[in-house]
Amino acid sequence: MTPEQAADWVEIFQLKSKYSWYYDTPDLDLLLGLFTEDAVLDMGPYGLCTGISEIRAMYAENISSPDNAFPTLHATTNPWIEIDGNEATGQWFLLDTVLNDIPARPTLGWAAIYYEKYRKVSGAWRICHIRMKFLWSRDLGRVSGKPPKLDFHADKPGQE
């Protein structure tokens, strides 16, 4: 890894850390600032959003209000980041704990894998594609099936 790639790796790691913090605090404007305008958010059984306005609408409906900070804690772990010039891919495990359902007893809400693509825009890394593979959900239980191929060259977002 070159020094430039190492610096890019750290910036992408920070980008993902900010994603979790901004989602959980919540700060919708800062969260959306992490995406490219043409970003795709494929949440599997929870929906597909194309473009920043659709992503904004989905997050506005599903993340907490500013007066209810930290209803969930997104713990993203085991980063696998590969950089190729001004583009990169990443994989992360997600353990999402729900804190506001039963205040005395937090519960695991989701276990999933983030498959992501990043693009350097005006010298800064941004998220341009997120594909979620849910392994377990409090809504769905155990989700079966093989993990999707990390292939962002498919004709349609979410296509396996």
Average pLDDT over residues 61-84: 82
CATH architecture of 3-142: Roll (3.10)
Break the chain into its structural domains and give their ranges: 3-142
Mean pLDDT computed over 75-86: 95
Q: How far apart are the C-alpha atoms of 45 and 38, rounded to whole Å?
A: 21
Residue 28 near residue 63 (C-beta atoms within 8 A): yes
Q: Where are the beta strands (DSSP E) in 67-146?
A: 72-84, 87-98, 107-121, 124-137, 141-142
Amino acid at 133: K
Position 81 confidence tier, pLDDT thresholds 50, 70, 90: very high
- Distance CA(41)–CA(60), nearest Å, equals 14
pLDDT at 100: 65
Give kind and range of the element (H or E) at residue 48. strand 48-50
What average pLDDT score do residues 126-138 get? 91
Q: Which class for 67: exposed (0-12), middle (13-18), buried (19 or more C-beta within 10 A)? A: exposed
Average pLDDT over the chain, rounded to whole? 85
The per-residue pLDDT for 153 is 46
pLDDT recorded at residue 148: 53
Looking at the whole model, is its pTM more than 0.85? no
> Given a cut of 90, is residue 53 above it in pLDDT?
yes
Q: What is the average pLDDT across 128-155?
A: 71
Average pLDDT, stretch 109-136? 94
Q: What tens digit of pLDDT does each residue of 18-51 get? A: 999 998 888 899 999 999 999 999 988 788 999 9
**Range name among 46-50, 107-111, 148-152 with the lowest pLDDT average:** 148-152
